[in-house]
Amino acid sequence: MSFAQVSRHIGYIPQSHIPTFPFSVFDVVLMGRAPYLNLTDTPKKEDEEIALNALKTLGIEDLKDKEYTNLSGGQRQLVFLARVLCQQPDILILDEPTSHLDFGNQIKLLEIIDNLAKSGLSIIMSSHFPDHAFLSSTKVAIMKNKSFMDFGKPDDVVTEENLKKAYSIDVRLINIDDNRKVCVPLKTNLKLGDIK
């Protein structure tokens, strides 16, 4: 398959993206239509409508005319997600999509990801936050040293025992009032001489 053909089926969002040019948000999202255009083509009205719908899906159509380089990290992540949605992929791969976001934007983005999955989009996401498995996953894998430790439903895989093996520290899983679990790492009481 050519790169364009792959891009029509698989969308990818890297862990971070450093904007270079002050394109408008709309133009950045419209670039997601590139797999459907030839080198000399310009986007058609249909492509522009798809880009606008991607912005509306994520609730950021009000950013349409702003410069991408002047957005916050959370806004940029949503714009980049809109750009990938504009590709209309079957599978979305997210590399730590919440790594540079504050708590509020993490939860908002995870809810968006969950809604996209419920709409039929297949999503593969990596995260260093075990809590996220309980918020937006149907299947979870834990990896350590480039190998899978466990795979299955979040409640079966994200356990205190598996987290201790993965992170080499004690972790407590705590249920909070809305039937959600959170992972709390416990202090190890290391001394400076113990760190290698």
User: Looking at the domain assignment, is residue 135 inside a domain?
Assistant: no
pLDDT tens, residue by residue, 64-89? 999 999 998 888 888 989 999 999 99
Structure confidence at residue 196 (pLDDT): 57
Structure confidence at residue 77 (pLDDT): 86
27 is in which domain, residue-wise?
3-128
Structure confidence at residue 143 (pLDDT): 92
Q: Mark whether 120 and 189 lie in a shared domain.
A: no
Active-site amino acid positions: 96
Structure confidence at residue 95 (pLDDT): 92
Structure confidence at residue 154 (pLDDT): 92
pLDDT tens, residue by residue, 45-65? 999 999 999 999 888 999 999
Report pTM.
Answer: 0.83
All residue ranges of the chain with pLDDT < 50 are none
Q: Mark whether 110 and 42 lie in a shared domain.
A: yes
The residues that bridge with 185 in the sheet, in sequence order, are 171
Q: How many domains does the chain have?
A: 2
Structure confidence at residue 194 (pLDDT): 62
User: Looking at the domain assignment, is residue 44 inside a domain?
Assistant: yes
